[in-house]
Amino acid sequence: MNTKLRSLLAKIREVWLVLGVTLLLFILLEAALSLFYVIKDRIEASDLAASHDVRAKADAYAGAPWVNAYYREFENASSNRWVPYVYWRRAPYQGRHIRIDADGIRQTWTDGEAHKAPGDPLIVFAFGGSAMWGTGARDDFTIPSFLAKQLKEKGIDNRITNFGEPGYVSTQEVILLLRQLQKGNIPDVVIFYDGANDTYSAYQQQTAGLPQNEFNRAKEFNLSQPTRSRPLRALCIRRLTGELSTVRFVRNALRRLGISVGQTGTAIRQTAQGDSLASREALSREVLTLYAGNMRLVKVLGQSYGFKALFYWQPTIFDKRRLTGYEESQRRSIEALQPLYEQVRGHMRAGDILAEHADVFHDLGDAFSGVQEPAFIDWCHVSESGNEAIAGRMAMDVLRELGSLDSAGSQSLKAR
């Protein structure tokens, strides 16, 4: 064996030794960090007093003792599962403050008694995003639960189903209603509570009417095509490496230094860049035009199936004139959305786009505008007392629609 070959083999052995030692050290580090995170996650999962959600510190809660336990459940109940046509719903979950059934429906308050009123109970379907679902609120203190309580107080036997789902835009809700009607599940009243998600999705994607993060679904569909195997492999590798404990440690360390990393930061940068690519004026009108189209569809369905429909535009932190220090910090966290949101509401108040729906559409944007006390836990979710106020407005409208404001709701509400 000549000298050059022996020298080459020696170098290969040295490189192989260095790589082997490096790989061994990495495996040991990954094993140690994995053990650390397993122990840490188990401790946090069993410690209901711990929560990483900043909303647990919202001043609107006034230090309520249940808040940290609620947000621990909220984190544990965040798993979604695929559902045809509407993309996702929450997986079943049973906690103390959050209970979700096998169909992904969150529990709504009931009096626990058999229906005693003459005839059948009033059937109400409640649709919306996370604000209707009840982010930040316990089961019995969501908008649908307060509505059920308030109707019951008026002597109205009722059964309310909370079809709200975090992230949903109004078109997903209309499809969900259609699916229920196809199954023969017919309500007496349907309520839609929207605005934040429809506007945010338009801002995010610079076109109105799409579910949030639709670009991710287009990417995933393209990756599933036979000719896209290489990008699919690359995506799998990125996801696998993203689950390594070493990567998690580095990511957390960078976040502590104030460096934004991960998919969320990417989405924000893409959104901010896209905001300058389309006319805000045209986009704001498009949001309301498509929303008006959804209202028209629901009203036609109501005429055919015999139910009444009510629509509400939800308040956000942009509508509140006097913000607390905490609320101001929440407003700043998403202030890039504020110009589009305010322009949408400007067109809404002008009345031309939604004029034909004035009989069933209610703008609740100013519901907390003059309130000085804390009301919001983030930019679009209010406290439990805020949910009660919103539900109170809905209850009055339901009673008015059914012609039952007189005699304190003692008369029969339905003709079967």
Question: What does the pLDDT look like over 208-242, one tens digit per residue?
Answer: 999 999 988 887 777 666 665 566 566 566 666 76
Q: Taking the C-alpha atoms of 67, 69, 75 and 77 in order, what is their torsion angle to the nearest 10 degrees? A: -110
pLDDT of 158-194, one tens digit each?
A: 999 999 999 999 999 999 999 999 999 999 999 999 9
- Classify burial at 88, counting beta carbons within 10 Å of its beta carbon; exposed 0-12, middle 13-18, buried 19 or more: middle
Quick check: 257 pLDDT over 60? yes
What pLDDT shows up at residue 412? Answer: 44
What are the tokens at 106?
């969150």
d(CA 279, CA 285): 10
What pLDDT shows up at residue 194? Answer: 98
Higher per-residue pLDDT: 238 or 134 = 134
- Backbone angles phi and psi of 235, in degrees to 5: -65, -40
pLDDT of 35-71, one tens digit each?
A: 887 787 666 655 545 568 999 999 999 999 999 999 9
Nearest Cα residue to 159 out of 209, 124, 201: 124
Q: What percent of the chain has pLDDT over 90?
A: 65
Angle at 289 between CA 286 and CA 292, to 5 degrees: 150
pLDDT of 278-298, one tens digit each?
A: 589 999 999 999 999 999 999
Q: What is the mean pLDDT of the chain?
A: 86
Q: b/e for 56-74, b at 16 or more Cβ within 10 A?
A: bebbbbeeeeebbbbbbbb
Q: Poorest-confidence range of 197-201, 244-248, 300-304, 309-313?
A: 244-248
For the entire predicted model, the pTM comes to 0.81
What pLDDT shows up at residue 410? Answer: 41
Q: Taking the C-alpha atoms of 413, 111, 153 and 380 in order, what is their torsion angle to the nearest 10 degrees? A: -100
pLDDT of 303-334, one tens digit each?
A: 999 999 999 999 999 999 999 999 999 999 99
Q: Taking the C-alpha atoms of 388, 391, 396 and 402 in order, what is their torsion angle to the nearest 10 degrees? A: -150
Tell how strand 99-100 and strand 93-94 pair up.
antiparallel
d(CA 47, CA 32): 23
pLDDT of 90-132, one tens digit each?
A: 999 999 999 999 999 999 999 876 555 556 899 999 999 999 9
Higher per-residue pLDDT: 8 or 397 = 397
What pLDDT shows up at residue 17? Answer: 83
- Do residues 56 and 71 touch, judged by C-beta distance below 8 A? yes
**Residue 156 per-residue DSSP state:** -
What pLDDT shows up at residue 91? Answer: 97
Neighbours of 317 (CB within 10 A): 26
